[in-house]
Every structure is written in C-alpha cells, then in structure tokens.
Amino acid sequence: IAGASSNSAGRGLWSSRWVFFLAATGSAVGLGNIWKFPYITGQNGGGAFVLVYLACILAIGIPLLMTEVMIGRRGRANPEGAIAALAREARASRHWRWLGTLVVLTGFLILSFYTVIAGWAVAYTPTAMSGGFSGLNGESSGALFGAMLANPWKLAGYGTLVLLLTLAIVAFGVRGGLERSLRFLMPGLFVLLLVLVGYAATTGHFMQAVHFLFDADFSKLSGQGVLVALGHAFFTLSLASGAMMAYGSYLPAGTSIARTALMVALADTGVALLAGLAIFPLVFANGLEPGAGPGLIFVTLPIAFGQMPLGQMIGGLFFIMLAIAALTSAISLSEPTIAWLTEKFGISRLKAVLASGITLWLLSLGTVLSFNAWSEVTLLGKTFFDSLDFLTTNLLMPLGGLATVLFAGWALSRKLVQESIGIDQPQLFALWWQALRVVTPLGILVVFLHSLGLF
Ligand code: PHE
Ligand code: NA
C-alpha cells in the first residue's frame, strides 16, 4: 500500500514482509553459525562463552538489528545515504555520514574472506558425494583438510567461483533468485542439522557436548573471549556491516520491524546452537581438540559422514546447503557496497559490481595465502586472514555498532524513531528506547574496556 511507490526512482522494494524476513534470515544464517560459532566456542572454553554470546544477542544485537532496519527503511538509501538523510532530518551533525562509510567498508572487508571460506564448503561437496570421507578418523580427516589448505590454487579457485556467483546474482538483481532459493534452503538446512544432531546423539558423547556448551565456567573465559563473543553477536546477525541497513532500505512501510527482527534473531541463534550440538559430540567422540580452530567442522563432520548410513548423500547435501547459506550471506555483504557505489557515484550496477569484484578478488588472495604460502607472515602473531577477521569482527563491528546506537538513541529524536520503528505499545517502545540509549552503548563499552584488561 503505502511505500509501494513512495520510494525514489530506481529503488525497488521487497514484495512482502515475508520476503524481507527470508532475505534477512538468509543474510544472518551462514558460515557464522555453522563454521565460526562452533570453533570460537571451542577456542574460548565453551559454556561461559556461549552464555555471554547469548546475552550479547539479547541485550545488544536485537535492539541494534531493529535500529539498523529502521535506519535503512526511513532513509531509503545505501547506508551512508540513509544515515546522512536521517541526520539532515534530525538536524544532527553532517559527520554522521562517516559512520555509513565505515559500515560499508566493514561489510566489504568481511566479504573478501567470506567467499574463501565458503569455497571450502564447495570444495568438500564433490569429495563427500564421491565417498571420499569413508573410513576417516580424526587423524586422516585432519590430513585431508590440511592438504586442501596447503593448495593455494584450489582455495583460490573455489573462492573465485563463490565470488563470481555472488557478483553475478547481485549484478542481475537480487530478489527473484534469493526468494526462490531461500524457500527451500532454510527448512532444508534446519532438517539436515537435526539429522546431524540425531546422529551425534548416537556417538555416546552427546551429554559431554551439552555440558561443554552450557555449563558456564567463567574461569575459562578471558577478557578477549568476551570481546570475541560480542563481535560474533554482531557478525552472526549481520550487524554493523551495512547489510541489514541495505536490506531495510527495501522494506515496505508499515510492517513491524520489531517482530521480524526477533524472528530473524531466533532463527539465527537456533541454527548456531544446533550446529554446536551436532559438532561437539563428534569432537569428543573422535578425540579431537575443541580449540582446533577454523578447520573444526571440516575435520569433524566428514568423519561422521564417512560412517553414517547414506553419508555420501547427506554429506553432499550438507556442504551444498552450507555453500548456499554462505552465498545468501555473501550477497547481503555485497549489497551495501554496490548500492553505495551506484547511488553515491552515479555509476551503473554492472560497473559497481566489476569495480568491487576486482578489488575483492585481490584481497581474497591474501586470505587464501594465509593458510599456506603466507602462513608464517604475521603481524602481532596474526596472519593476514586472522588480522582481517580481528579488525572487522572484533574492532570495526563493535565500534560501528556503538556509533549506530549512539546515532539513533542520541542524535535522532525520540519522536522520529518512534514513528519509524513501528512498535505500537508505548511501554514496549519505552523499554526498547532505554535499551538502545543506555544498555547497548554501555554494554559495548564495558566489553571493550574489559578486553583491554582495564577491569
Ligand atoms: N551473518 C552472516 C553469518 O553469520 C555473516 C554476515 C556478516 C553477513 C555481516 C552479512 C553481514 O554467516
Ligand atoms: Na549468523
């Protein structure tokens, strides 16, 4: 109704709230849930980390998710344009637009390594289908993964494939393809994860995994670990990277942002916890190290696929679905940059895709080489990939998130925000408003200072 034609020329809208929900869930659910969450949980000692992560989702992630979608929808432009428009409307400083530039850059940098990791899932699909996992144990599975990492040509090839696919979809319009693929992807991924959790329950180490994931022993959690939990809450909900603002800018007016955001966060958290429950029983059953790092799912799951009935088919399906889940996230990671380039510089969508594609590809080679030729080239003990991951997830995202809540909570007026967020009950809005203005900024600051060892 309203909104269907109220936007400026050239900017389309999602055809319904349901499609927006699918797209936002497609953005949120990805490698963060299935690849990253289990391995950083393992590295940071388990239960206490999970608890802090869940608290960050609830107290910081969800209010910020609503805020970002609101900014996008109200501003009806790429992140920089939307923030500039809102700042103008509220007579706030012009300099807030830099926040928009920052989040676009963050998403761009993440995309440069995201496609490489997604390439791992693509690379494992044919291996799974052709029975390449049969008879694997902890050691041989680790060796198989190590052999892949050692081959820069293979990593670059599959990473390039994912990047090309992402850019092709983005160049030729996001919506149709996204909607169609998400309709079967999300339920399919959920069912497969349930199957894997069911299989994991037969390993005899299921309860050990449950204890590992949910018994909070705070002596195992460092200040850095708390920052990693906060950073991951941003990463997993696609926050502070322009993605949710960009998707919000295509959201028709008059739909409830609050309810949709809650559903997205719930689906995202559910998938992450299921992934943890599927993977840790296998870690313990096969005598693997929970803190083994980025290879965790690529070492554990193949062992299970090699043993279970129908493992070839289930394993192949799993890695295809993981790749598609990553693809829908990668698309959302690129949209802020593409919208920014086209709207700010007035160039065509195709030109924007080509320009960003070349830069992304060059950057992605740095991540590829981090796992082989450059694995000894480090800065403060971190490889190129580690540095990029730390810079984006643990520094730029918390900073961008902090600036975003300060912008919405303190630079914009309560009236403007209340009008655009669409929370009808006044008490509920008051609660959210206080969370936004006080809880989120303080929460982020406390985590930051704690990670620096200040208290
Ligand atoms: N949320 C995605 C995941 O968990 C990653 C992502 C981050 C996507 C930032 C968009 C923006 O895999
Ligand atoms: Na996620």
Task: Find the residues whose C-beta lies inside 6 A of ligand 1.
Answer: 27-28, 30-33, 107, 110, 235-236, 238, 241, 243, 329, 332-333
CA pair distance 88, 397, nearest whole angstrom: 24
Task: Give residue 389 CA to ligand 2 midpoint distance, Å.
Answer: 15
**For residue 318, what are the CA distances in angstroms to 32, 188, 202, 301?**
15, 9, 19, 10
Specify the pLDDT at position 173: 66
Q: Map out the domains of the chain with their CATH numbers.
A: 17-451 (1.20.1740.10)
Task: Give residue 335 CA to ligand 1 midpoint distance, Å.
Answer: 12
Task: Give residue 122 CA to ligand 1 midpoint distance, Å.
Answer: 18
Per-residue pLDDT tens, the chain, 455 aa: give them: 223 333 443 577 888 888 899 899 999 999 999 999 999 999 999 999 999 999 999 999 999 999 999 999 999 999 999 999 999 999 999 999 999 999 999 999 999 999 999 999 999 999 999 999 999 999 999 999 999 999 999 999 999 999 999 998 888 766 666 666 677 777 888 888 999 999 999 989 999 999 999 999 999 999 999 999 999 999 999 999 999 999 999 998 888 899 999 999 999 999 999 999 999 999 999 999 999 999 999 999 999 999 999 999 999 999 999 999 999 999 999 999 999 999 999 999 999 999 999 999 999 999 999 999 999 999 999 999 999 999 999 999 999 999 999 999 999 999 999 999 988 899 999 999 999 999 999 999 999 888 888 76
Q: Hunting for tokens 């680790």 — which residue is that?
A: 142
Q: Which of 33, 111, 235, 271 to mutate to test the pocket of ligand 1 (most atoms within 8 A of CB)?
A: 235
User: What is the DSSP secondary structure assignment for residue 408, as one 8-state letter?
Assistant: I
**For residue 451, what are the CA distances in angstroms to 64, 230, 390?**
21, 11, 13
User: What is the DSSP secondary structure assignment for residue 251, as one 8-state letter?
Assistant: S
- Beta carbons of 93 and 87 less than 8 angstroms apart: yes
- The two tokens of residue 423 are 């929370």
Say if residue 201 is exposed, middle or buried (CB neighbours under 10 Å; 0-12, 13-18, 19+).
Answer: middle
Specify the pLDDT at position 255: 82
Task: Give residue 78 CA to ligand 2 midpoint distance, Å.
Answer: 22
CA nearest to 310, candidates 140, 131, 125: 131
- Beta carbons of 37 and 275 less than 8 angstroms apart: yes
Specify the pLDDT at position 175: 66
CA pair distance 319, 127, nearest whole angstrom: 10
Task: Give residue 304 CA to ligand 1 midpoint distance, Å.
Answer: 27
Specify the pLDDT at position 209: 97
Residues in the chain: 455
Task: Give residue 390 CA to ligand 1 midpoint distance, Å.
Answer: 15
Q: Is 413 helix (H, G, I), strand (E, B) or coil?
A: coil
CA nearest to 332, candidates 114, 113, 21, 23: 23
Q: Which of 41, 120, 238, 331 to mutate to test the pocket of ligand 1 (most atoms within 8 A of CB)?
A: 238
Q: Which of 178, 332, 338 to mutate to test the pocket of ligand 1 (most atoms within 8 A of CB)?
A: 332
Specify the pLDDT at position 13: 83
Specify the pLDDT at position 4: 34
CA-proximal residue: ligand 1, atom 9 (nearest): 238
Output the pTM of the full model: 0.95
